[in-house]
Amino acid sequence: MIQVEGLTKYYGNFKAIDSISFHADAGEIVGFLGPNGAGKTTTMRILAGYMPPSEGQASIAGFDVFEQSLEVRRRVGYLPETVPLYKELTVWQYVDYMASLRGMRGPERADRVDEVLEMVDMLDRADSLIASLSKGMRQRVGLAQALVHSPDVLILDEPTIGLDPRQVREVRELIRDLGQDRTVLLSTHILSEVNQLCSRILIINNGQIVAEDSPETLAARLEGATRFFVRVGNASPEEVAEALRDLETVTDVYPTDQGVEVTSGRDNDARPAVAAVIVNRSWDLLELRPLQMSLEDIFLRLTTDEDEMEFQQEEVA
Ligand X SMILES: Nc1ncnc2c1ncn2[C@@H]1O[C@H](COP(=O)(O)OP(=O)(O)OP(=O)(O)O)[C@@H](O)[C@H]1O
Enter the DSSP assignment of 105.
-
- Helix or strand or coil: residue 165? helix
Closer residue to Mg ion in complex, CB, 34/215: 34
CB-nearer residue toward ligand X: 183 or 303: 303
Task: Give least dist CB 148 to ligand X, A.
Answer: 24
**Nearer to ligand X by C-beta: 39 or 77?**
39
CB of 38 to ligand X, least distance (A): 4
Smallest distance, ligand X to C-beta of residue 302, A: 14
| Binding region for ligand X (CB under 6 A) | 11, 14, 16, 34, 36-42, 81
x/- contact string, 4-43, with Mg ion (CB under 5 A)?
------------------------------------xx--
CA distance 84 to 95: 12
Quick one: which of 158, 72, 159, 81 has its CA closest to 119? 159
Partners of 2 in beta bridges = 24, 60
Q: Other C-beta atoms within 10 Å of 166: how many?
A: 9
- State the binding partner of 36 from ligand X, Mg ion, none, CB within 5 to 8 A by kind: ligand X
Cβ partners under 8 Å of residue 119, min gap 6 = 144, 147, 174
Q: Which CB, 41 or 69, lies closer to Mg ion?
A: 41
Which of 116, 186 has the CB closer to ligand X?
186
38 binds, among ligand X, Mg ion, none (CB under 5 to 8 A by kind): ligand X
C-beta separation of 46 from 53 below 8 A: yes
Determine the 3-state secondary structure of 283 from DSSP.
coil
CA atoms of 91 and 222, how far apart (whole Å): 46
Residue 237: name its binding partner from ligand X, Mg ion, none (Cβ under 5 to 8 Å by kind).
none
Per CB under 5 A, residues contacting Mg ion are 40-41, 81
